[in-house]
């Protein structure tokens, strides 16, 4: 019941925000057409060029299979790493073509052109039958890719009748392979992965089922300035943890010892606390903290800690996690929520002793009936590493892109797709 009612609620509001109302692969028929699909195959490779984590490949399969089943000629493209315009062999997508062949159970022909759209690619596309799949070389082998240079966009567009963008991780960037090419083909739509990100992240911010609780963590206030400001307008309760909480506590006049602080943002924190009060929003900050004399080295080393009130942080100690009372307070705030968005860990979660706060929040999200959305990056890693991944409604695949969504910005990669 819970899920279907929220889906209904979304579809009613969907037309209000154009960015959330894009054509997807389900709105088009690609039979016999050449379809260029921008995927996110930016996977980690070991020294022997074996793929060490294939989550992104597996996540791309539903869109690819749909286009194959419809009888499209499927041309896949992606970047991998940062070759910065040079054809670096260790960043070739050849291993990806090999693994996709195994995952799909049909050949994915690799077009090994250093200039991406070269003789191999052109010949392979010309020889395609309906339902065939080819993979182009790393789009960032071309220096123009990240500058959205028109010549490369035109070359990519020359291969295709239809463009499908399924790479949310680069949606906040305007590059040739996700924005430039979309503007040059008649039909540009989003794939299933992109659609899911828009449905969950976009709607959570624009049309949330209330109460809407946002949880922000991470080390730096500076990274989250616009997110804090935008979410205060949209959410009912904003919870702040992680290293950035101590700049807020210092702004309240508290002694924070050696804890992380950004003195240039004290005024900003005061403005945000005033804004919350003016808008009648709850802004929750830590009431206690886990402190230690020194940062753990290496990061997962055993460490001696104590749990103290935020009114009693010793001058010579550093706070590195939210305390037990704070964890209980934050968990309690989540219990009655209907929508929860979480971005950023509560402490140094890479250390077993300092992961307790992050685990407590993850557990609270796992136990709630609310729609739970995890912004990409560190929070996604934390949730997966701690074993709560399958308990969340949605874990975003894009760190930077999900943050910009939460800031209320228009994402170029989404905006470039055709409106419904």
CA–CA distance, 285 with 245 (Å, rounded to integer): 7
CATH number at residue 101: 3.40.50.1260
Do 350 and 209 lie in one domain? The reply is yes
Please tell me whether residue 381 adopts helix, strand or coil conformation.
Answer: helix
Which of 193, 209, 227 is the endpoint of a domain?
Answer: 193
Which residues are catalytic, by number? 56, 220, 377, 400
> Is the dihedral angle over the CA atoms 27, 32, 34, 39 positive or is it negative?
positive
Q: Quote the domain boundaries for residue 57.
A: 22-193
Domain endpoint, select from 193, 208, 229 = 193
Amino acid 223: pLDDT: 84
Per DSSP, what are the bridge partners of residue 239? 215, 284
Strand ranges across the sheet with 371-374: 282-284, 237-240, 212-216, 339-343, 371-374, 394-395
Query: What's the total number of domains in the chain?
Result: 2
Q: Quick one: 215 and 337 in the same domain?
A: yes
First-to-final CA distance of the chain:
27
Local confidence pLDDT in tens for the 420 residues of the chain: 344 433 433 333 333 345 678 999 999 999 999 999 999 999 999 999 999 888 889 999 999 999 999 999 999 999 999 999 999 999 999 999 999 999 999 999 999 999 999 999 999 999 999 999 999 999 999 999 999 999 999 999 999 999 999 999 899 999 999 999 999 999 999 999 999 998 888 888 888 999 999 999 988 888 888 899 999 999 999 999 999 999 999 999 999 999 999 999 999 999 999 999 999 999 999 999 999 999 999 999 999 999 999 999 999 999 999 999 999 999 999 999 999 999 999 999 999 999 999 999 999 999 999 999 998 778 888 888 888 989 999 998 877 888 888 888 888 999 999 999
- The pLDDT value given to residue 18: 53
Closest to 210 in 3D by CA, of 332, 340, 328, 373: 340
Domain closes at, from 164, 193, 222? 193
Whole-model pTM?
A: 0.84
């Amino acid at each position: 019941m819970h899920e279907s009612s929220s889906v209904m609620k979304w579809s009613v509001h969907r037309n209000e925000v154009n960015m959330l109302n894009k054509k997807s692969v389900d709105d088009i028929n690609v039979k016999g057409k050449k379809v260029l699909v921008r995927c996110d195959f930016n996977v980690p490779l070991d020294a022997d060029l074996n793929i060490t984590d294939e989550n992104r490949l597996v996540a791309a399969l539903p869109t690819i299979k749909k286009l194959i089943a419809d009888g499209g000629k499927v041309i896949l493209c992606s970047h991998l790493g940062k070759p910065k315009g040079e054809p670096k062999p260790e960043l070739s997508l050849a291993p990806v073509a090999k693994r996709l062949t195994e995952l799909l159970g049909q050949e994915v022909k690799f077009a090994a052109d250093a200039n991406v759209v070269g003789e191999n690619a052109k010949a392979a596309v010309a020889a395609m039958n309906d339902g065939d799949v080819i993979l182009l070389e790393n789009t960032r082998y071309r220096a123009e890719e990240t500058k959205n240079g028109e010549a490369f966009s035109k070359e990519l567009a020359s291969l295709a009748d239809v463009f499908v963008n399924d790479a949310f991780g680069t949606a906040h960037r305007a590059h040739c392979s996700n924005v430039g090419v979309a503007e040059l083909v008649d039909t540009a739509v989003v794939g299933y992965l992109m659609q899911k990100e828009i449905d969950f992240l976009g709607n959570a911010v624009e049309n949330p089922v209330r109460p809407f609780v946002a949880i922000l963590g991470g080390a730096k206030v500076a990274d989250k300035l616009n997110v804090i400001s935008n979410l205060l307008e949209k959410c009912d309760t904003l919870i702040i943890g992680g290293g950035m909480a101590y700049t807020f506590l210092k702004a309240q006049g508290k002694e924070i010892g050696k804890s992380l602080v950004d003195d240039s943002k004290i005024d900003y924190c005061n403005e945000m606390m005033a804004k919350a009060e003016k808008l009648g929003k709850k802004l929750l900050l830590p009431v206690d903290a886990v402190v230690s004399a020194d940062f753990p080295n290496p990061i997962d080393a055993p460490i001696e800690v104590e749990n103290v009130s935020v009114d009693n942080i010793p001058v010579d100690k550093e706070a590195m996690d939210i305390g037990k009372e704070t964890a209980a307070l934050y968990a309690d705030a989540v219990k009655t929520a209907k929508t929860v968005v979480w971005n950023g860990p509560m402490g140094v979660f890479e250390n077993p002793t300092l992961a307790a706060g992050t685990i407590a929040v993850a557990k609270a999200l796992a136990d709630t009936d609310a729609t739970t959305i995890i912004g990409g990056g560190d929070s996604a890693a934390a949730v997966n590493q701690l074993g709560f991944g399958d308990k969340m409604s949605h874990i975003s695949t894009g760190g930077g892109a999900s943050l910009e969504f939460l800031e209320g910005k228009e994402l170029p990669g989404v905006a470039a797709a055709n409106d419904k």
